[in-house]
Each structure stands twice: as structure tokens, then as C-alpha cells.
Amino acid sequence: MKDFMFIFRGGMPESMTPEESQASMQKWFAWIGELSAKGRYVGGDPLLQEGKSIQGKKPVVTDGPFAEGKELLGGYFIIKAETLEEATELAWGYPDFELGGSVEIREVMKIPMP
């Protein structure tokens, strides 16, 4: 099996009540449980919004990210699947679609170490 990364964007708005947030987290735990039961979940974590960016030919550090809320990276999973198509099918369980979130699915390239 190959490793794939699910990159989560958008999703949970800051305006959620504690009850809504708890209900959303229960959906996430259920999805992780389903993936784990199938032997597909490797790991993952949410990302804090605060961060830094380094870029340019003469690298400069800036505070960030400075994207719209719907584009902010919210977290990631690493999952196991045979193909990109199978990984895409597994991503349909993402609980934040109803909140406007999205999932980018990418195969992790394995680079042999010398």
C-alpha cells in the first residue's frame, strides 16, 4: 500500500458554539475510527493558525498564514491506500464538507535514502 496525505482546508468556523464544536469533533473521531478499523489511518493532527513563512531568493521570514479562512490549512492525515482513486473514496468521509471545508489528496513520494 502507498501513503497518501489528506490536507484539510477551511472547515470549522470560529463562531461555533461549544456544543457545535463538540458535535463536530465527534464526527471527526468517528471518521478516524472508521479509517482505523479498515487499517487505513496512519496518523494526523490539526494545525494551529499561527505560523511563519520563509520565502524569496534572499529568504525573509513573515508572520502568517495570511489566507482567507476558507483557504487556511486546518490539518492533515496520512492514510494507506492502493491507489489515488481509493484514497479519494476514503476522503468522502471528511466531516467538514458541510462547513465549506475541502480535502486535497496527494500521494506521498518515497525517496530512497542512500
CATH number of the domain within which 66 lies: 3.30.70.1060
Q: Domain range spanning residue 43?
A: 2-14+24-47+61-107
Q: Confirm whether 54 is domain-assigned.
A: no
Whether the CB-CB separation of 3 and 77 falls below 8 Å is answered with no
Domain-embedded: residue 85: yes
- Above 60 in pLDDT, residue 68? no
Domain assignment of residue 37, yes or no: yes
Q: What is the pLDDT of residues 35-61, one digit of tens each?
A: 999 999 999 998 887 888 888 898 888
Is 42 within the bounds of a domain? yes
Q: What is the pLDDT of residue 27?
A: 94
The position carrying cell 495570511 is 66
> Residue 11 has what pLDDT?
72
Phi, psi angles (nearest 5°) of residue 38: -85, 0
Instruction: Decide which of 11 and 32 is more confident.
Output: 32
How does pLDDT run across 73-102, given as a tens digit for each residue?
A: 889 999 999 999 999 999 999 999 988 899
The answer as to whether 113 is a domain residue is: no
The count of structural domains within the chain is 1
User: Does 82 reside within a domain?
Assistant: yes
The answer to the question of residue 112 being in a domain is no
Tell me the C-alpha distance between 65 and 33, whole Å: 30
Grid cell of 43 as nine digits: 496518523
Higher pLDDT, 60 or 28: 28
The answer as to whether 91 is a domain residue is yes
Integer Cα distance of 44 and 77 in angstroms? 4
